[in-house]
């Protein structure tokens, strides 16, 4: 009816956010031309605005899968229904905002395809985060799936790569029971499963130690088990030496999660209304990156101006 | 009881279907046609069993693995969905069969890891289909053997032998008094100066040995450098503050500092509170360290060990309180953060070289020299491998392809 | 004797772990030794916990500066310890998972630990910005290359990078920012990473041999080679 009516409160918020950040950066650039350094606290303030306002007024983007993400998606797609997937939650609450969206997306994808998933953790904090994900995804969206048949939770075991060193030959030696002290032998999902080698795919989510690298060194390579990984952005470059032969695909940081979520909704429209934290957080991340880039430019202007001022 | 006419009709139909299937197998389209023609009244057709089941003793193990392979049922190969899976049974020393594992359709191999030396094992497979099951032929009894040496890892042994041998050789050479040249490492040259600065300013030194336990060689490297730092600290009578995130590291660090104070002739100046355990939790530890930095404003900070995401948070806080910062880690992801925020950074191997470098002892310096042989070997292999791969791909030279395959098998680790 | 025994244990266990890679009958022994460390590390929790309680109890009892914080630490420590140990509020009782939904342990984890840890990690965003502002300056040729690479990666990790170079035809797709970012990560970055990793690997071998042969003893509190 009236064009102006189509503008929502959120759009105004986005416009104001961009104007506030853009205006502030122009002001700082003018200051830098005069050779003045930007105080740390001012940098912090800009990052705060760039991250927090897009959380209040969401800015969303369309994502396209990069090859490292596509490789993981295609692998899960190509496995026949009923395949066994081992999923490890190797992260803590600090990394969770970045990595847990990947774990949730993996869960949705695997269970939708009819794969049987076993959940474990090499991090003490991973088990509690696993419970959160199980409540949010499996028990809410896949309530028809049966514990012990379609999925199993074997939880956390201390020992880092020592655990992997053992489960690559015998999983029961480290995990005789699931988290509810039910013996693995009485769970149908473990019929014929003796070690990690009996899984069709291992999905590791994490970003620290122990993490994807240890999975490759102690399970993937010695056991010939395909491994895919979802890791914090800072860890992703470290995994490139293992891609694509030792790690078949990598989801790196929020961007990786967003690409995966986007593709999942494309292929499985039933997930259109489920939360997609990866996609939602791309707005704050994009603005934060742009602000950091602006500060790098401002820093260089200040540097060159101050160099000119120096006596020869 | 079923009437005789029904049984004979079913029998004839089954026979016809079987003949049709056998005749039409080469073409899948034909099979689909033959299926469509099967009357509803036909009796269920049992699946064809898996064939060529072979059990063999796994090479180079403790006699505790048997490798099994088989050719999947012809029905599994030709018509997807006809066979739903397989069950593997094992008979140990003529006892009753025990189900060992269950597989999805299409599977054709398995490794039995629960095998004991001296026992005889017989295996057979059951092919499962909605219409029924079919058993394969049993394997001959197999007893495993123990191999004492894993010859699959002969190349790994050779590489380890060359590298470790050269390290030991140079240690011996240095011990006999030969002078070895070691390049200067700026970060380590600055250690004494940094401690002196803290003494002059009357402010403490902060030493962080990473957030990993004593089983990590980076932590051991950090603690060995602490030994040298603590000696200077004890000499200068500077205050050292060392919050740690692992209790075993706390014990080792206390012992190291105590020894340094004793060596400096000032055992009474040492107290256990110089090293204190905070928490194993990564960011709880970071919060504590940041708090200590802001409150105590150390003049010099050492970050030497294994670091993760906390590296930049700690280093930037140290930068904000105006401390001289010397960092060192073998965590490649954290190196850029330390380089950006610290005055000196020991990159990767320099961290491990630091204690030898600071000690100045010929034996320790010799071990650094031995590393160079390993580096030379790596460099040579990379050059030959790159050349072989390029020439093999570009000009299809057989010799280069063979060389590449040989190199690949030499450096293959999954055995 | 105080030094000889640890040195012997180090040499024996270290050698056994190396040998177990090549001798199949010793392999399981090697695996067991890695588990022994974990068992020892479990006892170290008592050492760490004991030390924590001792220091803070001392601070509270002597009314030292900021003793109130120590009180909070002790309260938190014992609350979480009791919640996990006795599985308070756990629907499945003592046999069920310690992190079962609704248990005190899981609730404390979700409501306290989770937001606190995430907040600390989130500080990285601020520090990355301030460190980038200081560090990425075109002071020389190498620093300029680093600066350009940082720019491309930062742009490439956002949809903005895709948008600004979407007009480049597919025949020149290598010039699109996300593809340039992938190239930087998978070629120059990869080459550098591998070189550093080889150096680190050799450093670890050399350091381990020094420790194994007893040449490096500083970590035992002995300052003599």
* Average pLDDT rounded to a whole number, residues C153-180: 85
Give the DSSP H/E element, type plus range, for residue A92.
none
* Average pLDDT rounded to a whole number, residues B136-150: 93
Q: Please check the confidence at residue B16 and state whether its pLDDT lies above 50.
A: no
pLDDT single digits (tens) B324-339: 999 999 988 888 889 9
pLDDT of residue A7: 64
Instruction: Please give the Cα distance from A25 to A41 (Å, whole number).
Output: 14
DSSP string covering B82-125 = T--EEEEEEEETT---EEEEEEETT--EEEE----TT-EEEEEE
Q: Please check the confidence at residue B385 and state whether its pLDDT lies above 90.
A: yes
Q: Please check the confidence at residue C136 and state whether its pLDDT lies above 60.
A: yes
Instruction: Please give the Cα distance from A151 to A82 (Å, whole number).
Output: 11
Comparing CB atoms, the residue among B147, B160, B286 nearest residue C120 is B286
Closest of B300, B272, B277, B289 to residue B205, by C-alpha:
B300
Q: Please check the confidence at residue B8 and state whether its pLDDT lies above 80.
A: no
Mutant choice from A44, A81, A192, A195 vs B, greatest count of B C-beta within 10 A? A192
Instruction: Please give the Cα distance from A251 to B243 (Å, whole number).
Output: 35
Asked if A166 and C31 come within 8 Å (Cβ–Cβ), the reply is: yes
Closest-CA residue of chain A to C129? A292
pLDDT of residue B56: 94
Contacts of B226 in chain C (CB under 8 A): 218
pLDDT single digits (tens) B212-239: 988 888 999 999 899 889 989 999 889 9
Asked if B309 and A234 come within 8 Å (Cβ–Cβ), the reply is: yes
The model's confidence at residue B10, banded by pLDDT at 50, 70 and 90, is: very low
Q: Please check the confidence at residue B308 and state whether its pLDDT lies above 80.
A: yes
Asked if B259 and C199 come within 8 Å (Cβ–Cβ), the reply is: no
Parallel, antiparallel, or unpaired for β A151-156 and A116-121? parallel
Q: Please check the confidence at residue C2 and state whether its pLDDT lies above 80.
A: no
Instruction: Please give the Cα distance from B282 to B308 (Å, whole number).
Output: 9
Tokens of C55: 């220091």
pLDDT single digits (tens) C175-211: 888 889 888 988 898 888 889 889 999 998 988 888 8
Closest of A200, A187, A179 to residue A113, by C-alpha:
A200
pLDDT single digits (tens) B173-224: 888 888 777 788 888 888 888 999 999 999 999 999 999 988 888 999 999 8
pLDDT single digits (tens) B52-107: 999 999 988 888 889 999 999 998 887 767 888 899 999 999 889 998 887 878 88
pLDDT of residue B36: 39
pLDDT of residue B51: 92
Q: Please check the confidence at residue B3 and state whether its pLDDT lies above 90.
A: no
Q: Please check the confidence at residue B152 and state whether its pLDDT lies above 90.
A: no
Comparing CB atoms, the residue among C197, C216, C219 nearest residue B364 is C216
Residues A146, A147, A148, A150, CA torsion sign: positive
pLDDT of residue A309: 67
Comparing CB atoms, the residue among A40, A80, A237 nearest residue B320 is A40
Percent of chain A at pLDDT above 90? 57
The model's confidence at residue B1, banded by pLDDT at 50, 70 and 90, is: very low
pLDDT of residue B228: 87
Per-chain mean pLDDT for chain C = 86
* Average pLDDT rounded to a whole number, residues A44-51: 92
What is the length of chain C?
225
What backbone phi and psi angles, to 5 degrees, belong to B247?
-70, -30
Give the DSSP H/E element, type plus range, for residue B127.
strand B120-129
The model's confidence at residue A310, banded by pLDDT at 50, 70 and 90, is: low
CB A206 within 8 A of CB A91: yes
CB B189 within 8 A of CB B260: no
* Average pLDDT rounded to a whole number, residues C98-123: 89
Contacts of C128 in chain B (CB under 8 A): 312
Asked if B312 and C128 come within 8 Å (Cβ–Cβ), the reply is: yes
* Average pLDDT rounded to a whole number, residues A287-311: 86
* Average pLDDT rounded to a whole number, residues C64-82: 92
CB B359 within 8 A of CB B352: no
Q: Please check the confidence at residue B24 and state whether its pLDDT lies above 70.
A: no
Q: Angle at Cα C32 formed by Cα C28 and Cα C37, nearest 5°?
A: 155
* Average pLDDT rounded to a whole number, residues C61-83: 92
In eight-state DSSP terms, residue A147 is B
Contacts of A192 in chain B (CB under 8 A): 88, 100-103
Residue A113 CA, chain-centre distance (Å), reads 20
pLDDT of residue A6: 58
B383 CB burial (10 A radius; 0-12, 13-18, 19+): exposed
Residues 6-35 of C with CB under 8 A from B: 18, 21-25, 27-28
**Terminal C-alpha separation, chain C:** 16
Parallel, antiparallel, or unpaired for β A116-121 and A84-90? parallel
Instruction: Please give the Cα distance from B190 to B326 (Å, whole number).
Output: 8
Closest of B310, B336, B319 to residue B243, by C-alpha:
B310
Asked if B414 and A222 come within 8 Å (Cβ–Cβ), the reply is: yes
pLDDT of residue B32: 34
What backbone phi and psi angles, to 5 degrees, belong to B241?
-125, 125
Q: Please check the confidence at residue B41 and state whether its pLDDT lies above 60.
A: no
Q: What three-state secondary structure class fits A304?
A: helix
Q: What three-state secondary structure class fits B77?
A: helix
A68-103: string of b/e by CB count within 10 Å (b at 16+)? bbebbbebbeebeeebbbbbbbbbbbbbbbbbbbbb
- Distance in Å, alpha carbon of B123 to nearest chain A alpha carbon: 14
pLDDT single digits (tens) A184-229: 999 999 987 888 988 999 999 998 889 999 999 889 988 889 999 9
C138, HSE (Cβ side, Cα atoms, 13 Å): 14
Instruction: Please give the Cα distance from B194 to B206 (Å, whole number).
Output: 11
The model's confidence at residue B413, banded by pLDDT at 50, 70 and 90, is: low
Q: How many contacts (CB atoms, under 8 Å) link A and C? A: 156
Per-chain mean pLDDT for chain A = 89
Closest of A210, A199, A202, A198 to residue A247, by C-alpha:
A202
Paired with A231 in beta bridges are A206, A252
Give the DSSP H/E element, type plus range, for residue C194.
helix C188-212
Q: How many contacts (CB atoms, under 8 Å) link B and C? A: 193
Q: Please check the confidence at residue B18 and state whether its pLDDT lies above 80.
A: no
Comparing CB atoms, the residue among A63, A166, A292 nearest residue C129 is A292
Closest-CA residue of chain B to A209? B308
pLDDT single digits (tens) B362-380: 888 888 888 888 999 999 9
Q: Please check the confidence at residue B276 and state whether its pLDDT lies above 70.
A: yes
Comparing CB atoms, the residue among A97, A130, A289 nearest residue C158 is A289
Mutant choice from A91, A166, A234, A295 vs B, greatest count of B C-beta within 10 A? A234
What backbone phi and psi angles, to 5 degrees, belong to C224?
-120, 140
């Amino acid at each position: 009816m009236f064009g102006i009516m189509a503008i929502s409160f959120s759009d105004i918020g986005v416009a104001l956010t961009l104007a506030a950040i853009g205006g502030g950066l122009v002001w700082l650039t003018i200051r830098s031309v005069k050779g003045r350094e930007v105080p740390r606290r001012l940098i912090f303030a800009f990052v705060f605005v760039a991250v927090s306002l897009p959380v209040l007024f969401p800015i969303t983007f369309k994502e396209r899968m990069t090859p490292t993400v596509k490789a993981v998606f295609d692998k899960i797609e190509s496995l026949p229904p009923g395949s066994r997937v081992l999923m490890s939650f190797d992260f803590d609450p600090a990394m969770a905002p970045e990595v847990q969206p990947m774990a949730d997306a993996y869960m949705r994808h695997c269970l939708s395809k009819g794969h049987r998933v076993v959940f474990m953790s090499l991090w003490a904090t991973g088990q509690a985060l696993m419970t959160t994900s199980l409540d949010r995804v499996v028990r809410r969206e896949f309530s028809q799936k049966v514990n012990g048949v379609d999925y199993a939770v074997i939880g956390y075991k201390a020992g880092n790569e020592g655990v992997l060193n053992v489960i690559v030959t015998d999983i029961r030696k480290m995990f005789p029971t699931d988290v509810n002290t039910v013996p693995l032998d009485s769970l149908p999902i473990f019929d014929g499963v003796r070690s990690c080698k009996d899984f069709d795919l291992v999905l590791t989510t994490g970003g620290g130690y122990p993490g994807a690298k240890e999975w490759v060194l102690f399970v993937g390579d010695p056991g010939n088990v395909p491994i895919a990984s979802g890791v914090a952005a800072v860890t992703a470059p470290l995994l490139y030496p293992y891609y694509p032969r030792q790690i078949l695909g990598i989801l790196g940081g929020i961007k990786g999660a967003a690409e995966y979520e986007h593709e999942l909704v494309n292929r499985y429209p039933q997930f259109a209304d489920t939360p997609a934290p990866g996609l939602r957080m791309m707005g704050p991340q994009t603005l934060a990156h742009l602000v950091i880039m602006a500060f790098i430019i401002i820093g260089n202007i200040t540097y060159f101006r101050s160099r000119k001022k120096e006596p020869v | 009881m079923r009437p005789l006419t029904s049984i004979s009709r079913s029998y004839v139909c089954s026979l016809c279907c079987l003949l049709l299937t056998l005749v039409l197998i080469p073409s899948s389209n034909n099979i689909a046609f033959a299926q469509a023609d099967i009357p509803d009244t036909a009796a269920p057709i049992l699946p064809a069993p898996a064939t060529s089941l072979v059990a063999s003793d796994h090479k180079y193990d403790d006699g505790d693995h048997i490798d099994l392979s088989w050719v999947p049922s012809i029905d599994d190969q030709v018509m997807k969905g006809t066979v739903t899976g397989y069950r593997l049974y094992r008979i140990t020393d003529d006892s009753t069969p025990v189900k060992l594992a269950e597989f999805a359709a299409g599977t054709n191999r398995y490794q039995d890891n629960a095998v004991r030396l001296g026992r005889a094992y017989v295996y057979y497979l059951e092919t499962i289909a909605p219409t029924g099951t079919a058993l394969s032929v049993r394997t001959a009894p197999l007893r495993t053997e123990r191999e004492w040496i894993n010859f699959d890892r002969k190349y790994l042994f050779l590489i380890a032998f060359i590298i470790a041998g050269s390290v030991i050789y140079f240690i011996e050479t240095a011990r006999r008094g030969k002078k070895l040249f070691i390049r200067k490492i700026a970060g380590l040259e600055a250690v004494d100066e940094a401690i002196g600065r803290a003494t002059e300013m009357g402010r403490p030194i902060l030493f962080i040995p990473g957030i990993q336990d004593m089983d990590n060689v980076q932590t051991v490297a950090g603690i060995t450098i602490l030994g040298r730092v603590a000696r200077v600290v004890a000499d200068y009578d500077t205050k050292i503050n060392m919050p740690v995130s692992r209790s075993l590291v706390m014990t080792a660090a206390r012992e190291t500092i105590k020894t340094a104070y004793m060596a400096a002739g000032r055992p009474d100046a040492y107290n256990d509170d110089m090293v204190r355990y905070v928490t194993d939790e990564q960011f709880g530890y970071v919060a504590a360290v940041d708090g200590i930095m802001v409150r105590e404003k150390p003049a010099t900070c050492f970050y030497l060990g294994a670091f993760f995401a906390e590296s930049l948070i700690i280093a930037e806080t140290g930068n904000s309180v105006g401390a001289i910062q010397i960092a060192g880690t073998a965590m490649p992801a954290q190196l850029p953060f330390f380089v950006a925020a610290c005055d000196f950074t020991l990159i990767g191997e320099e961290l491990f070289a630091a204690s030898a470098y600071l000690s100045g002892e010929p034996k320790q310096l010799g071990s650094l020299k031995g590393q160079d042989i390993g580096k030379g070997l790596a460099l040579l292999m990379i050059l030959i491998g790159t050349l072989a791969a390029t020439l093999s791909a570009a000009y299809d030279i057989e010799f280069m392809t063979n060389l590449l395959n040989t190199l690949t098998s030499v450096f293959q680790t999954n055995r | 004797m105080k030094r000889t025994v640890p040195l012997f244990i180090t040499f024996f266990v270290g050698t056994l772990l190396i040998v177990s890679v090549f001798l199949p009958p010793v392999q399981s022994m090697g695996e067991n030794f890695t588990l022994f460390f974990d068992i020892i590390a479990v006892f170290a929790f008592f050492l760490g916990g004991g030390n924590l309680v001792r220091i803070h109890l001392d601070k509270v009892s002597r009314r030292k500066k900021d003793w109130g914080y120590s009180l909070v630490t002790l309260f938190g420590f014992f609350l979480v310890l009791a919640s996990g140990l006795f599985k308070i509020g756990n629907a499945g009782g003592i046999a069920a998972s310690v992190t079962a939904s609704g248990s005190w342990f899981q609730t404390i984890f979700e409501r306290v630990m989770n937001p606190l840890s995430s907040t600390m990690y989130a500080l990285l965003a601020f520090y990355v910005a301030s460190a980038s502002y200081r560090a990425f300056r075109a002071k020389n040729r190498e620093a300029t290359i680093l600066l350009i690479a940082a720019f491309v990666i930062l742009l490439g990790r956002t949809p903005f990078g895709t948008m600004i170079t979407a007009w480049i035809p597919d025949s020149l797709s290598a010039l699109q920012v996300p593809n340039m970012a992938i190239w930087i990560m998978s070629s120059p970055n990869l080459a550098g990473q591998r070189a550093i990793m080889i150096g680190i690997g050799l450093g670890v071998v050399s350091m381990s041999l020094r420790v194994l042969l007893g040449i490096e003893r500083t970590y035992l509190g002995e300052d003599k080679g």
